[in-house]
Amino acid sequence: MKKIISAIALTLIASPALAQEENTATGIKAGVIVGYDSTNLSYYDLDESKGGFLYGATLGYDYDAGPVVVGIEGEITGATTKQSYDNLVLADDRWKLSAGRDLYVGARLGVNVTPTVLLYAKGGYTNARADLTIRYDSEKYSEHDNLDGFRVGAGAEVTVTPATFARIEYRYSDYGNYRYGDVESEIGLSRHQVALVSGFRF
């Protein structure tokens, strides 16, 4: 009987520690982002994309609700993507668009397909800075604009160790039509990204 009682007591003492070790999905997560950014510019018959290097950081919190994991996250990223077009709106004009910083806040919803692999979908609000330069008739015009949009995506997260994780995800962001001052143009902006994330749980 004493052995049975001792075994039960040890099990009760060990259970919280084991549960904490196994429940690695709940908690604060921070990581660095690298990847590929493809910015798309569309204007009537024009529909072209340019690629660049994606970099940044992410911070979020996940909660393991049993069969699903829910979370919130924020990002700040930048990209080296640049686009140049001639004769876009008027004859002999030249447009140059450079990607600036991108802020994102949104939610994640995932399912643990194995104890160490989480498949998830995400969505939220994104605000990207665009630097636009227009040359026409020997004049140069520059405009810096913050573009509001939405982002959706999906990915897989792997638990490397109880304190570290790695992700690969695809994301699509749509910013609607570009505005030059108070005038909304017919120039549509969107972007596709493939991101690799590596980070820590706290």
Whether 166 contacts 197, CB under 8 Å: yes
Q: Provide CB contacts within 8 A for 93, sequence distance 6+.
A: 86, 87, 134, 135, 136
Distance from C-alpha of 28 to C-alpha of 41, rounded to nearest angstrom: 36
Q: What is the pLDDT of residues 119-128, one digit of tens each?
A: 999 999 999 9
Domain covering 24-201 in this structure, CATH number:
2.40.160.20
pLDDT at 16 exceeding the cut of 70: no
For residue 4, what pLDDT band results from cuts at 50, 70 and 90? very low
Domain spans of the chain, in order of start: 24-201
Matching residue, tokens 């994991």:
69
Predicted TM-score (pTM) of this structure: 0.77
Q: What is the pLDDT of residues 142-168, one digit of tens each?
A: 677 788 999 999 999 999 998 999 999
